[in-house]
Amino acid sequence: MSGAESVIQVLADEGVDTVFGYSGGAILPIYDAVFRFNENSCDGIDAPKMRLVVPANEQGAGFMAAGYARASGTVGVVMVTSGPGATNTVTPVRDSMADSVPMVVICGQVPRAAIGTDAFQEAPVSAIMGAIAKHVFLVSDPSLLEETMRSAFELARTGRPGPVVVDIPKDVQNSDIDFKGHGILPLHGYRNRLAAVNRNRLTDKDCERFYTMLSESERPLIYAGGGVINANATKAMRRFANEYGIPVTTTLMALGASDTKHPLALHMLGMHGVASANYAVEDCDFLIAIGARFDDRVAGNAAKFSPSARHIAQFDVDSAEIGKVKQVNWHHVGVLQTDLVDMLEYGRRIGFSKSFAPWHDEIAVLKKEYALNYDRDNALIQPYAIIEEINKYTKGEAIISTGVGQHQMWAAQYFDFREPRLWLTSGSMGTMGFGLPAAIGAQFARPDRVVIDIDGDASIRMNIGELETATTYNQPIKVIVLNNFGDGMVRQWQKLYFDGRMSGSDKSLHHKDFVKAAEADGFKFSKRLDKKDDVERVIREFMDFKGPAFLEVIIDRDAGVYPMVGPGQGYDNMITGDFIKSRSKPDDDSPGPSEMF
């Protein structure tokens, strides 16, 4: 078969049912192979076996594939042409690498003989992507194309997941090859490292040391990161936590790893974490980090992070994360699910038992005393109230996608998440424009779930063309724009740290009629909510509508995200605002402008 046909056959062999991408000259042979594969595979059924979803922009395709991967736990697939097609996927590739999302990006490339001649729509994909992807392949030998494609999927999904880019010259796509139906590249170094991690099981001595620290603890706390979800280790972590009654707080990326409605769940910690979670981190004497990397949005001041902890333990799949930011007393690099099961089995074998009832009482007090709150009497619509109202319908079971900004943090704080893979957001990169395409990708992956994009007026503009993609494919996503007429998070920082100088955060983009834009893109439900008295009714209509639905909400422009821990500060300097109780006033050691990001 042709090289293009072999690419599609490998996708089929890997169980790929949806491909997101935009065509162009250098990728046309593979696009044609998709068409012919579906035509030959229908067998009288009026549905193709491999959906090809065409977005408005290649960046949208990348984020759709990321949303698909995050919601499904499988590899997302992107297919774009050379030059601008490939460079438009740079941001989604970096975003997925930063958040450990498995993705395979198939790029068309100019013919081999033209590489390096500045040919039409040529870009040095290997050089560009090599710095930001988990791995990049430039296929120069057609006989290795099949093995390269299989290896790309292996690399994307194994170990610490990430994006893999396969750059395929057009003449390689058109080459005749012998398709074997098996085979992978000899990636000995990678597989040896992966095998070493898989073999690295906890020993009895490792477990004994861990349980000694747990026995000496009165206030243990699990700090769970996105690695728990990426490793499909949520059930194992919950069993371990429940066995001994250890409270759990999660990072932004791990929302849903712990059922937020559980009495011992502390929701999210960090820069905009719930006050009770941050105070629990302050008070705990044994911090157990599982699949978490002590990033700057959690441990902005590493020296002051978890100051009362006599011991810190760290579980991770990546040895590079051990001690990178915070020195720990105990660590293990291995497969999280296996390690947590082994640790629990050892505890049962030795009959470990200890009551942490006093700590549970303290946790209950923290959650009650320092709960999230806002100005409920304000005549203007408060964004928190909107999310609380929607949460009554979703009950922690909908997939929530977000852009980046204040709306992202409000959604993280006020939504419940009963399960993993219900929360989709750009964490490490903080990429505006992520929410809408990621929601579309998630809806393709999970048609059984309600999918809601909580977005901001500035963030949704970045990829607003994907509104038409949602209606073109009749994906019943629900899109909410919390409109405060500008970059709300930047304005909040400017108020706090730049004496209120609103440089560039307004942008004067106040003329966009989002409702008409959504109507023009085919949304049958497209409304604006600007009266507080209408909130309950309009949200009900919005949630009950069958099909794609769009809602713009005009919110209080001065609504802020609280709590907030300033950059470089410890949790003892947490700003809680006017409506969330604080147990200590922050001092005047405010960060300077250079520390903003």
Task: Identify each DSSP E strand in 344-436 by its residue range.
Answer: 399-402, 423-424
What whole-number distance in Å separates Cα of residue 372 and Cα of residue 576? 9
* 120 inside domain: yes
Q: Are strands 103-109 and 163-169 parallel, antiparallel or unpaired?
A: parallel
Question: Over the stretch 213-255, which tens digit does the pLDDT of each residue have?
Answer: 999 999 999 999 999 999 999 999 999 999 999 999 999 999 9
- The side-by-side arrangement of strands in the sheet containing 76-80 is 51-53, 18-22, 76-80, 103-109, 163-169, 135-138
- Catalytic residue, chosen from 120, 235, 261, 531, is 120
Q: Lowest-confidence range among 135-149, 243-257, 439-453, 492-506?
A: 492-506
What's the confidence (pLDDT) of residue 590? 53
- Catalytic residue, chosen from 213, 489, 543, 574, is 489
Question: Over the stretch 566-587, which tens digit does the pLDDT of each residue have?
Answer: 888 999 999 999 999 998 755 5
Is 170 an annotated catalytic residue? yes
* 320 inside domain: yes
Pair (394, 441) in one structural domain: yes
Question: Over the stretch 329-345, which tens digit does the pLDDT of each residue have?
Answer: 999 999 999 999 999 99
Pair (318, 430) in one structural domain: no
Tokens 């579906």 label which residue? 38
Q: Lowest-confidence range among 135-149, 488-502, 552-566?
A: 488-502
What whole-number distance in Å separates Cα of residue 264 and Cα of residue 238? 11
* 458 inside domain: yes
CATH number at residue 97: 3.40.50.970
- Catalytic residue, chosen from 79, 97, 170, 343, is 170
What's the confidence (pLDDT) of residue 96? 98
| Residue, of 587 and 210, whose pLDDT is higher | 210
Pair (455, 415) in one structural domain: yes
User: 399 phi and psi, to 5 degrees?
Assistant: -85, 125
Q: What pairs with residue 220 in β-bridges? A: 286
- Residue 211 DSSP symbol: H
| Residue, of 179 and 507, whose pLDDT is higher | 179
CATH number at residue 285: 3.40.50.1220
Pair (190, 205) in one structural domain: no
- Catalytic residue, chosen from 1, 9, 50, 121, is 121
* 189 inside domain: yes
pLDDT higher than threshold 50 for residue 596: no
Position 493 confidence tier, pLDDT thresholds 50, 70, 90: confident
What's the confidence (pLDDT) of residue 44? 53
Pair (62, 185) in one structural domain: yes
* 378 inside domain: no
Is 58 an annotated catalytic residue? yes
pLDDT higher than threshold 90 for residue 181: yes
Pair (402, 534) in one structural domain: yes
Count Cα neighbours of 486 within 13 Å in the Cβ-side half-sphere: 17
What whole-number distance in Å separates Cα of residue 61 and Cα of residue 53? 8
pTM reported for the whole predicted model: 0.95
pLDDT higher than threshold 50 for residue 435: yes
Pair (227, 337) in one structural domain: yes
* Cβ neighbours for 581, distance < 8 A, ≥ 6 positions apart: 275, 369, 370
Pair (209, 93) in one structural domain: no
Distances (CA, A) of 399 to 72, 100, 269, 415, 425: 11, 19, 21, 10, 11
Give the Cβ contact number of residue 162 at 10 Å: 23
Pair (345, 430) in one structural domain: no
- Averaged pLDDT for residues 299-318: 96
Pair (192, 240) in one structural domain: no
* 162 inside domain: yes
- Catalytic residue, chosen from 5, 14, 58, 154, is 58
* 164 inside domain: yes
Pair (40, 174) in one structural domain: yes
Pair (357, 215) in one structural domain: yes
* 133 inside domain: yes
Q: 251 is in which domain, residue-wise?
A: 201-369
What's the confidence (pLDDT) of residue 504? 83
What's the confidence (pLDDT) of residue 503? 87
Is 120 an annotated catalytic residue? yes
